[in-house]
């Protein structure tokens, strides 16, 4: 729930999504169940390895199946999520940008210079466990 609130209040995001390439298809894979029927999923079609940093860049979204909400990408009426860059070896992450129905996804142009934060909490641990085994199988961009 803490992440859902953080996503809902995300501010100050700049630079277009063009850096990462638009997520055209959505192949959502659930990686954790959270409180109150909320689920977190990541988009396998969007995931890639950043050539410059070696981090896995992943779009993640929140859903609540009982309420028929998400997971969905940016621009969808029920889309709430974010894009993060994960260092699997160091178990840390950088948030590149977030989105919600009234706020499009904008990737910060300076994200590679941001200080990574330790991937704490069960939800972040589950995300790393879901995507890190694929580090050698995602496209490099």
According to DSSP, residue 98 is labeled: E
Sign of the C-alpha dihedral computed for residues 70, 74, 76 and 78 taken in this order: positive
Is the pLDDT higher at 23 or at 65? 65
- What's the burial of 82, exposed, middle or buried (CB within 10 Å: 0-12/13-18/19+)? buried
Does residue 139 belong to any structural domain of this protein? no
At 6 the pLDDT is 40
- Structural domains in the chain (count): 1
The whole-chain average pLDDT of the chain stands at 85
Does residue 86 belong to any structural domain of this protein? yes
Is the pLDDT higher at 118 or at 4? 118
When pLDDT is averaged across residues 10-19 and rounded to a whole number, the result is: 32
CB 31 within 8 A of CB 40: yes
Does residue 17 belong to any structural domain of this protein? yes
At 58 the pLDDT is 97
Does residue 37 belong to any structural domain of this protein? yes
Is the pLDDT higher at 40 or at 9? 40
Does residue 141 belong to any structural domain of this protein? no
For the record, the structure tokens of 51 come out as: 């050539």
Specify the range with the lowest mean pLDDT, choosing from 8-22, 37-51, 79-93. 8-22
Confidence of residue 102 (pLDDT cuts 50, 70, 90): confident
Does residue 140 belong to any structural domain of this protein? no
When pLDDT is averaged across residues 92-112 and rounded to a whole number, the result is: 95
At 19 the pLDDT is 35
Does residue 19 belong to any structural domain of this protein? yes
The parent domain of residue 120 ranges over 2-134
Q: For residues 117 and 114, what is the distance between their CA atoms, to the nearest angstrom?
A: 9
When pLDDT is averaged across residues 115-135 and rounded to a whole number, the result is: 96
pTM: 0.80
Does residue 125 belong to any structural domain of this protein? yes
Is the pLDDT higher at 127 or at 17? 127
Cross-strand partners of 59: 83
Confidence of residue 26 (pLDDT cuts 50, 70, 90): confident
According to DSSP, residue 67 is labeled: G
Matching residue, tokens 């994200």: 111
């Amino acid at each position: 729930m803490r992440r859902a609130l953080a996503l809902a209040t995300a501010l100050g995001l700049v630079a277009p999504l063009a850096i990462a390439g638009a997520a055209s298809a959505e192949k959502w894979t659930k990686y954790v169940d959270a409180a109150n029927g909320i689920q977190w999923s990541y988009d396998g079609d969007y995931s890639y390895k950043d050539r410059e940093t070696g981090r896995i860049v992943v779009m993640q979204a929140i859903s609540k199946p009982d309420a028929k909400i998400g997971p969905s990408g940016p621009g969808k009426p029920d889309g709430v999520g974010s894009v993060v860059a994960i260092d699997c070896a160091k178990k840390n992450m950088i948030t590149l940008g977030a989105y919600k129905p009234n706020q499009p996804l904008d990737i910060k142009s300076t994200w590679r210079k941001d200080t990574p934060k330790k991937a704490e909490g069960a939800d972040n641990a589950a995300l790393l466990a879901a995507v890190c085994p694929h580090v050698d199988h995602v496209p490099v961009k």
